[in-house]
Amino acid sequence: MSSQQISFSDTSRFETVTNPLTRHASRRVQQRGVNRDVLDGLLAYGRYAPDHQGGHVVTFDDRSLEALALNESASVRARATDSPNLYAVLSSDGVVITAGYRFRRIPRDLSQSAHRRGRSRSPRVLNGPSNPYRI
C-alpha cells in the first residue's frame, strides 16, 4: 500500500469537510438562501464557539474570511465576503442543526454575572478598607 499525502495547496480545504445536515438544516439552508459552497467554507474556516449546550456555533471572523480568501476560488470568496454574518449551529457529533444569517450579536460569555446589571464581575469584599458597612 502506498500512502499519498495531500497538501492544502493541492486541493481545497473544505473538500475534506463532510458535515451532514439534518432535515431541518437542509430546509433552513434552502429557505434562507444559504449557498452550500459558502456553508462548506464556513465549516472549514469559521470560528467555532461553544453554545454551552453541547454544540458549537460557527461564524466568520476576519481571520477566517482571510483564510478562505487565500485558499478558495474567486466565486466562493465573493459569496463569502457578501455574507459575513452567516452562522451554523452544530451538534456535539458534528451534524449541522441549522444555518442562517445573524441579525443580532452572538453572545460569547453566557455566565450569569455577565447578564446582571450594575454589577461587576469581581467578587465583593465585605471587610475591605473601602467598604462603609465594615463589620
State residue 129's pLDDT score: 62
Q: Which helix (H) or strand (E) holds 59?
A: strand 56-59
* Least confident stretch, 17-26, 37-46, 72-81, 107-116: 107-116
Question: What secondary structure does DSSP assign to 73-103, as a single string?
Answer: -HHHHHHHHH-TTEEEEE-TTS-EEEEEE-S
53/135 Cα distance (integer angstroms): 42
In the chain, the N- to C-terminal Cα span, in Å, equals: 77
Does the pTM exceed 0.75?
no
pLDDT of residue 124: 59
The b/e string for 26-54 (b: 16+ C-beta within 10 A; e otherwise) is eebbeeeebbebbbbbbbbbbbeeebeee
* pLDDT at residue 67 in the model: 93
